[in-house]
Amino acid sequence: MAFLLVIGVLLLKAFSNQKYLSAERRAVLARAKKFDKLYFEIGGHLLFDGHALRVLPGYDPKNKLKLIKSFGEKVAVVYCVSAKELEKKVTWSDSGLTLEKVVFGEVKKLRRKRINVVGFAVNRFEGEKTALSFIEKLKKSKENFVVTTEIKGYPHNLENVFGTNGFESQPLLDIPQKIVVVTGAGANNGKLFFCLSQIFHYDKLGVNAGYAKLETFPIWNLPLNHEVNIAYEAATADILDKLMIDPFHKKAYGINSVNYNRDIDSFPILKRIISRAASKNNFMHTYKSPTDMGINFAKTGILTDSAVKEASRKEILRRYESFKKKVFKGEKKSTLKRMKEIILKVNWPN
């Protein structure tokens, strides 16, 4: 029993929330000083980050909420939802809830926790009936919202992006706060598109607006093959995310930085968009890599690396067993194949 208590204490000390939040908060405020207005995208689970809790023993799963609250009246939150994802009408994870119910449920919980959700962005709208119903509910509830529409060829066709039917035609959700946290349920909800369209409009108004993001994983300044980063690949095996060394960061600074394929692939076109959407003195022009856009001090909070590695190995096995069960319920077999590849990367103890 005494042995188990010692192990429990060690695990609790594997991560310092105070060190992490202090470093993260300083970095966000420093970035915000570079702009008149900072659009700060927060990915992952905002209300309760169960994955972080499992792989970083001692991590407070409500750290993102605490970070937002720490900015006080300087911060507002915009909640994004994709018209395309609404139209799929699939149930959300294991909850059995539709995306619409998840969205309204999360916003209600955020407001109960005194998080200032100032409005919604319904993105990629092309007349979807489910989205129209969602918009009517926003109107009935007297919510502040905008509807952004699909730009043909976005993001690669810059003539369309900056043409009359591009960013120019997207609505501005005018928000007075200095820091605008942009979040949403799950992936593909149009957070980055919304941020870029707003930055474009504010630039036209003479307001120096910028973009940064927080994604707890992967942890950019840990090794590529560190178990906590491999656990991120396991968590995203169903969408086939792959981690790699950020080649742009390596070229610019000579430093190995871990990022994932989607951000690395999209960075060159994102730089081209920024070059046209923001004025020459905008701090975003100094971003030399997708890693530069991020603000992630998770490594600062790690106190016991061995405990994090062990927790991450357990999480990888948990994900594997979970995906195995899901294959029998219709999950793609490619997910399980990807999981087997991921397991081979792990440095399993003898």
Q: Is the pLDDT of residue 350 over 80?
A: no
Which one of 2.40.290.10, 3.30.420.40, 3.10.630.10, 3.30.360.10 gives the CATH number of domain 16-221+240-300? 3.10.630.10
Residues 6+ apart with CB under 8 A from 127: none
Sequence-ordered strand ranges (E) for the chain: 37-42, 75-82, 91-92, 97-98, 117-125, 145-149, 179-184, 209-214, 243-245, 258-260
Confidence (pLDDT) at 216: 94
Quick one: average pLDDT of 149-160? 96
What are the tens digits of pLDDT across the range 266-306? Answer: 999 999 999 999 999 999 999 999 999 999 999 999 999 99
As given in the structure block, the two tokens for residue 85 are 């994802």
C-alpha Rg value of the chain to the nearest Å: 21
DSSP 228-272: HHHHHHHHTGGGT--EEE-HHHHHHHS---EEEHHHHHHHHHHHH
For the stretch 179-190, pLDDT in tens is: 999 999 877 899
pTM of the model: 0.93
**pLDDT value, residue 131:** 96
Contact 81, 185 (CB under 8 A): yes
Separation between Cα atoms, residue 250 and residue 132, nearest integer Å: 45
pLDDT at 26: 98
Rounded distance, CA 231 to CA 274, Å? 32
Of 237, 218, 221, 220, nearest to 343 (Cα)? 237
